[in-house]
Amino acid sequence: MADVEVYAKLLSTLPDDDDHPYRSGAWRPQNVEYDADDLRVTGELPDDLYGVYLRNTENPLHPAIVRYHPFDGDGMIHKVSFRDGKVSYRNRFVRTDGLAAEQEAGRSLWAGIAENPKVAERDGWGARGRMKDAASTDVVVHAGVAVASFYQCGDLYRLDPLTLDDLGKCSWGGSFPAGLGVSAHTKVDESTGELLFFNYGTSAPYLHYGVVDADQRLTHYVPIDLPGPRLPHDMAFTEHYAILNDMPLFWEPELIARGLYASRFHPELPSRLGVIPRRGAGSDIRWFEFDPTYVLHWTNAYEAGDEVIVEGFFQGCPEPPAAGPGGPEGRMWRFLAQDAMATRLHRWRMNMVTGAVSEQDLSDSCTEFGTINPRFGGRPYRYNYAATNEPGWFLFNGLVKHDSLTGREERYQFEPGVFCSEVGVAPRVGGTEEDDAYLVTLTVDMNRDLSECVVFRASDVGSGPLARARLPERIASGTHSCWAPGESVKGW
Ligand SMILES: [Fe+2]
């Protein structure tokens, strides 16, 4: 049996009979933090799997002031580390300023994304303001330290990747852009040790791009002009460029003027990708126009001859129809379901010499949340490992390995009632081939009322998990994750 200790139990004021669809069932939040060593493993745990899988998620502790949206919950990081055939687990809330204030107050103090900012009791964070920076969206490991971030921009919270001890906020030697904060989906370039990032807001210049070096110094930070406030969620990079975006789905300007935030898709406007030299001035950015869509996540980008090539998930339906089951809430949930958004793997090509562009779908399959072997970030690559969703839900029920070279797809479908997270791609120790790696994810098994960390062979996804390690309790479903090789982790 695993050696399990309770580290802490946080105050939760959620009702015992909570029936909110994203605070119950597979999204039932936790308020207990565990330390567990020597997890019980079934199957064959590879002895060349060596490092740390981290996963963030929204994990609410209090009812919303008016209306809870699953992007509002407090950030909780789950850590599973693999070393010498042993598996250890911890989970910790990210110790944000907002979490501390709400633990003290015993209630929600800030407006969620589906609420009028006026309901917030205090000024707060985020591109639109008066939200709680929950650091709940994303997690990466940069310079040996885990960094949790928030999609509406905020502080970057640092944690020890092994112990999950709170290491405070990124300050970058006092140069952190505290007013605007930083968006989720910072990018770590393993080849240079740099962290690339962006932030966005509702006042000009609406977007900034920056670079932090391997010594955690802010070495580059430039404003990027946009026609108005936009809602970028992710960025991409190649060896020489960063790729930012201006997508035609954004907050309605006339509502912003009244302090309200509602996004609308503008099919009459193009999607624009902005390519900027990694240390370029804002005026060096070159914009390329494509078919209108919204892209939540890019898988990767790379250079080929004169071209910059970006891949990610095109949304066939960025704004689900208002009419449909469930009234306004039902519409809110359709905005979370990738089948409703009709997401599919897509490639955008930009010729830096001629200015020519082209784009194509790489698959008809509805997938999103694609991750890659991190050694291939920004470089020519072939594979991504994406999730399929439970129809109508923000829940992942299977994995698809896309081969961008041949178009081949390999699938694994979890049994009904079992959901996974975004996978971490763990290069096999000593491996050189891109898919000589393991895939690591966490499951929520509603049939057996438990959670496991499961490990796949990346070269044989279809055969299912090689090994499973049982967690101390059934965790909440969640999304973004990362893998950090052992040698890249401080204190390993
Ligand atoms: Fe995201």
Please provide the average confidence, as pLDDT, over all residues in the chain: 96
CA of 40 to the centre of ligand 1 (A): 31
What integer pLDDT is reported at residue 216 of this predicted model? 96
Give the pLDDT band of residue 377 (cuts 50, 70, 90). Answer: very high
**237: enclosing H helix or E strand:** strand 236-237
**339: enclosing H helix or E strand:** helix 338-341
Give the number of other CB atoms < 10 A from CB of residue 412: 20
What does the pLDDT look like over 435-451, one tens digit per residue? Answer: 999 999 999 999 999 99
What does the pLDDT look like over 88-138, one tens digit per residue? Answer: 999 999 999 999 999 999 999 999 999 999 999 999 999 999 999 999 999
For residue 329, pLDDT over 90 is answered with no
Question: Which DSSP category does 102 fall into?
Answer: H
What does the pLDDT look like over 478-488, one tens digit per residue? Answer: 999 999 999 99
CA of 47 to the centre of ligand 1 (A): 31
Give the number of other CB atoms < 10 A from CB of residue 215: 10
Give the pLDDT band of residue 333 (cuts 50, 70, 90). Answer: confident
Work out the average pLDDT over 151-173. Answer: 97
For residue 13, pLDDT over 90 is answered with yes
**33: enclosing H helix or E strand:** strand 32-37
Residue 426: C-alpha distances to residues 153, 468, 470 (Å): 28, 15, 19
What integer pLDDT is reported at residue 322 of this predicted model? 78
CA of 135 to the centre of ligand 1 (A): 12
Tokens of 488: 């890249």
Give the pLDDT band of residue 1 (cuts 50, 70, 90). Answer: low
- Candidates 233, 263, 132, 199; CA nearest to 479 is 233
CA of 372 to the centre of ligand 1 (A): 15
CA angle, 68 then 71 then 74, to 5°: 90
Work out the average pLDDT over 164-184. Answer: 97
CA of 140 to the centre of ligand 1 (A): 12
CA of 296 to the centre of ligand 1 (A): 6
What does the pLDDT look like over 71-88, one tens digit per residue? Answer: 999 999 999 999 988 999
Work out the average pLDDT over 385-411. Answer: 97
CA of 354 to the centre of ligand 1 (A): 32
Work out the average pLDDT over 184-206. Answer: 97
Residue 5: C-alpha distances to residues 40, 335, 368, 378, 442 (Å): 15, 38, 35, 40, 20
CA of 298 to the centre of ligand 1 (A): 9
What integer pLDDT is reported at residue 450 of this predicted model? 98
The pairs formed by 97-104 with CB atoms below 8 angstroms and a separation of 24 or more are 97/133, 97/155, 98/74, 98/124, 98/125, 98/132, 98/133, 98/134, 99/61, 99/74, 99/134, 102/61, 102/62, 102/74, 102/132, 103/10, 103/11, 103/61
What integer pLDDT is reported at residue 323 of this predicted model? 78
Tokens of 26: 């597979």
CA of 200 to the centre of ligand 1 (A): 15
Where does residue 78 rank: exposed (0-12), middle (13-18), buried (19+ CB within 10 A)?
A: buried
CA of 481 to the centre of ligand 1 (A): 10
What does the pLDDT look like over 295-325, one tens digit per residue? Answer: 999 999 999 999 999 999 999 999 988 778 7
Tokens of 418: 């079992």
CA of 11 to the centre of ligand 1 (A): 27
CA of 73 to the centre of ligand 1 (A): 15
| Identity at 24, one-letter amino acid code | S
CA of 138 to the centre of ligand 1 (A): 7
Kindly compute the dihedral angle of the four CA atoms of residues 35, 38, 40, 43, in this order, to the nearest 10 degrees.
130
CA of 234 to the centre of ligand 1 (A): 7
For residue 31, pLDDT over 70 is answered with yes
Residues 6+ positions from 264 with CB-CB distance below 8 Å:
249, 250, 252, 319
What does the pLDDT look like over 221-246, one tens digit per residue? Answer: 999 999 999 999 999 999 999 999 99
What integer pLDDT is reported at residue 124 of this predicted model? 94
Residue 47: C-alpha distances to residues 103, 243, 325, 486, 492 (Å): 41, 37, 49, 13, 16
Residues 6+ positions from 353 with CB-CB distance below 8 Å:
306
pTM over 0.95: yes
CA of 294 to the centre of ligand 1 (A): 13
CA of 479 to the centre of ligand 1 (A): 8
CA of 297 to the centre of ligand 1 (A): 6
Give the pLDDT band of residue 280 (cuts 50, 70, 90). Answer: very high
CA of 5 to the centre of ligand 1 (A): 31
